[in-house]
Amino acid sequence: MTTLAFTGELKTYKLPNGAKLVVNRREDSEAVALHVWFRVGSIYEDYHQKGMAHFLEHMLFNGSEKYPYGHMDYIVESLGGNLNAGTSKEYTFYHITIAKPYWKQALDVLYQLTQKPLLAEDMVEKEKPIVIEELRRGKDNPTTILWEEFEKLFYKVSPYRYPIIGYEETIQKFTRELLLEFYKNFYQSRNMYLVVVGDVEPEEVYREVLQTFGKEEGKPLPKVDIPQEPEQLENRTKTIRDNRVEKTYWLVGWKVPAVGTKEQYALVVLDQILGNGRTSLFYRELREKGLVYSISTGDFGRPRDNLFFIYATLDAEKLEQVKGRVFELMGSLREALTEEEFQRAKSRIINSEAFNLERVERDAYYIGYSLTVVGMLDYYRYFENNIRSVRREDVLRVLEKYILRKPYSEVIMVPDR
């Protein structure tokens, strides 16, 4: 998301069927990253569809009109590439990173994978126990339970309160017809963002895309009502006892501005100051002084109902002391934060992004995320400029406006002995 991305030639196209294409020509790499993004994730599902976006991601790897089951992975791997996918609450994306001579083969694989899947009934039944086993393995991890319970506590109306993977009861009822309806609604041209990054000719990429993805019909997208989370008026606390943990886990969060807004850039800097890495305030004052085993902060980068969190592992008897110290440190930031420390935090963010963007696959990811989640390529284009424009006063203002003395939600997981 920094100016490093523009060492090459950034071109944007809108296909006749409504699909969007972004090509970033990078002459500094022999690898090419190809991504296909769809604005669909678990928040777009009705209750009876819970887990469907994730399940459909699995299904698309089970064969297409041109390639039988397992053949797409074989093609990409035989050419030295990597094929993978991911589903979140807001998006699903499919991606290949491959050597420059083979980018056209990779584009064809992505086309077949996402636009020509078989979605065979027998493969639906084959996939169900696989996904359910994945769900059960997740439940075996106490931190998965911790985060799921946190979002259930934090969100009372928003569909963010549901897990991406869904539930056994919904997964068991999936049929080819239900999956096909969901697929046709969201895996279509007007909901599609294609990204290619590497040493490729943009116009040549555009011509190839027209002959593949460009042939698919675009149609109106379904209207999905995603309710807004109401204002939280008081603190919410939940304690979980689990005999599988030896330490205490503390997770606390506040509702904050959406990703891409001016105030959210200030939150990115606040995150860096408070809890991002060994130079952060919480690390120095809590981790190095032996009050916690680990502590970090962050925001979820969501386009609606975003949240900022603090996450720590510690001994149970130190919880109140740590909690008090965390709020004390944040409350004293107006006096304690020097301009020099503030500027260093911004530099760390910019340098970290520049390092990430040296890899074409990360560059392509940030472009896809900006288009699909944030809804504007400018988030990618001007991230560095927007971070540079954040002032010390902006950081203190968002801290005071959204976090200090504001209602929070917290989940505490303690050993059950």
Residue-wise burial string across 232-255, b where 16 or more C-beta atoms lie within 10 A, e elsewhere: beeeeeeebeeeebebbbbbbbbb
Do residue 43 and residue 108 come from a single domain? yes
Domain check: are 198 and 245 in the same one? no
Cα separation, 51 vs 167, in Å, equals: 7
Residue 220 lies in a domain: no
Q: Are residues 95 and 58 in the same domain?
A: yes
Question: What does the radius of gyration of the chain's CA atoms come to, in whole angstroms?
Answer: 23
* CATH number for the domain harbouring residue 308: 3.30.830.10
211 & 250 share domain = no
pLDDT tens track, the chain, 417 positions: 323 334 457 999 999 999 999 999 999 999 999 999 999 999 999 999 999 999 999 999 999 999 999 999 999 999 999 999 999 999 999 999 999 999 999 999 999 999 999 999 999 999 999 999 999 999 999 999 999 999 999 999 999 999 999 999 999 999 999 999 999 999 999 999 999 999 999 999 999 999 999 999 999 999 999 999 999 999 999 999 999 999 999 999 999 999 999 999 999 999 999 999 999 999 999 999 999 999 999 999 999 999 999 999 999 999 999 999 999 999 999 999 999 999 999 999 999 999 999 999 999 999 999 999 999 999 999 999 999 999 999 999 999 999 999 999 999 999 997
**Same-domain status, 247 and 197:** no
Pair 345, 283: CB distance under 8 Å: no
C-beta of residue 184 within 8 angstroms of C-beta of residue 155: no
On whether both 21 and 52 belong to a single domain, the answer is yes
* Sequence-ordered alpha helix ranges (H) in 194-310: 202-210, 262-275, 281-282
Structural domain span for residue 26: 3-215
- Among 46, 406, 369, 402, CA closest to 227: 46
Residue 251 sits in the same domain as residue 210: no
Query: Looking at residue 9, what is its pLDDT?
Result: 78
Q: Please name the residue that has the structure tokens 């409350």.
A: 331
* Same domain as 179, residue 126: yes
Could you tell me if 209 and 256 lie in one domain? Answer: no
229, amino acid identity: E
The residue type found at 82 is N
**Does residue 14 lie in a domain region?**
yes
State which of 215, 250, 270 marks the end of a domain. Answer: 215
In a domain, 314, yes or no: yes
* Residue at 230 is within a domain: no
At residue 8, the pLDDT reads 54
Q: Going by DSSP bridges, is the β-strand pair 409-415/248-256 parallel, antiparallel, or unpaired? A: antiparallel
Query: H or E element: which one contains 57?
Result: helix 52-59
Distance CA 98, CA 277 (A): 32
Tally of structural domains, the chain: 2
**34 and 205 Cβ atoms separated by less than 8 Å:** no
Residue by residue, DSSP assigns 105-124 as: HHHHHHHHHHHSB---HHHH
Looking at residue 417, what is its pLDDT?
76
Cβ-proximal residues to 387 (8 Å cutoff; 6+ apart), any chain: 265, 268, 269, 346, 349, 350
Within this chain, do residues 208 and 241 fall inside the same structural domain, yes or no?
no
* pTM for the full predicted model: 0.94
Question: Smallest Cα–Cα separation from 263: which of 81, 397, 86?
Answer: 397
Query: Smallest Cα–Cα separation from 145: which of 242, 45, 246?
Result: 242
Task: Describe the strand order of the beta sheet including 192-198 as a list of residue ranges.
Answer: 9-14, 20-25, 192-198, 31-38, 92-99, 82-87
309 and 388 co-located in one domain: yes
Please, is 390 exposed, middle or buried when counting C-beta atoms within 10 Å of its C-beta (0-12, 13-18, 19+)?
buried
